Amino acid sequence: MNTNATQQPVPLIQLRGITKAYGEGATAFLALKGVDLAIGRGEFVAIMGPSGSGKSTAMNLLGCLDRPTGGQYLFMGAHVEALSRDERARLRRRYFGFVFQGFNLLARTSAQENVELPLLYRGEPAARRHAAAARALEAVGLKGWEHHTPAELSGGQQQRVAIARAIVTEPAVLLADEPTGNLDTQRSHEIMELLARLNSEQGITVLMVTHEPDMAAYAHRIVRFVDGLVASDERNPNPAQPGSFRPAPAAAVTGTKAR
């Protein structure tokens, strides 16, 4: 036995031959047809593909929101596919944060209270909730906005609150499903730069579904789904860096001449 051989690190997430069927018998639809995928700690992975490719189904399985029909899903070496619904819920609360295209904020509730919700569900004491929410809001650039309601915030600020809510529990994995889908170009890049910083500075593993190449450009890897299978899995040699986006001049947008 070669004791000098370098041991490969165990992936944080590993999918082996994952299938997912909806319905039964002749009318069953196979959304995933045997997906193999490994994701290491601290990676930033963009998942792309056309509608019906299986990318959103895969995201739901990765986030323990659903369970596969067949195959193995290992998270930190544990077989997730064998867990009960309650066990998956506990895993989800402990290790995963979620950001969606819709901000899903409570309308009459302040930014601080929205961010505290996951900790409230955990039964954390009020003082600990307040302190953790304040830190999360500061991390996303919203210090001083704690008492504003969603109606008093821009779309980009609302998505920042949603991200703060997702990271307030200090998750190992942040799952973002079209996080810039409701935002304009500049706000979209601001959110992507924030996700990139959370990944690089806090070591949070980021898995993001997007159909926009400009947003996927921030990821370290780009995985493309086609017809329920991984069609390609490529490293991005030059991920977009925070601060690299430059808005187009007003003349380019309006068609008027620059003065």
pLDDT band at 79 (very low <50, low <70, confident <90, very high): very high
Q: Other CB atoms closer than 10 Å to residue 113's CB: what's the count?
A: 18
Residue 37 is encoded by which pair of tokens?
Answer: 């995928």
- Name the packing angle between helices 85-95 and 111-122 (round to 10°): 130
pLDDT band at 92 (very low <50, low <70, confident <90, very high): very high
58: domain range?
Answer: 13-104+170-237
In a domain, 216, yes or no: yes
Please list, residue by residue across 207-228, b when 16 or more beta carbons sit within 10 angstroms of its beta carbon and e when fewer do.
Answer: bbbbeeeebbbbbbbbbbbeeb
In a domain, 127, yes or no: no
H or E element: which one contains 233?
A: strand 229-235
pLDDT tens track for 206-257: 999 999 999 999 999 999 999 999 999 999 999 998 777 766 665 444 444 3
In a domain, 55, yes or no: yes
In a domain, 134, yes or no: no
In a domain, 242, yes or no: no
Number of domains in the chain: 1
Are the C-beta atoms of 15 and 60 separated by less than 8 Å?
Answer: no
pLDDT tens track for 5-53: 556 678 999 999 999 999 988 888 999 999 999 999 999 999 999 999 9
In a domain, 160, yes or no: no
What is the chain's alpha carbon radius of gyration, rounded to the nearest angstrom? 20
Q: What's residue 248's pLDDT? A: 63
For residue 205, the domain's CATH number is 3.40.50.300
Q: Which residues contact 207 (CB under 8 A, 6 or more apart)?
A: 39, 45, 47, 59, 62, 173, 174, 175, 176
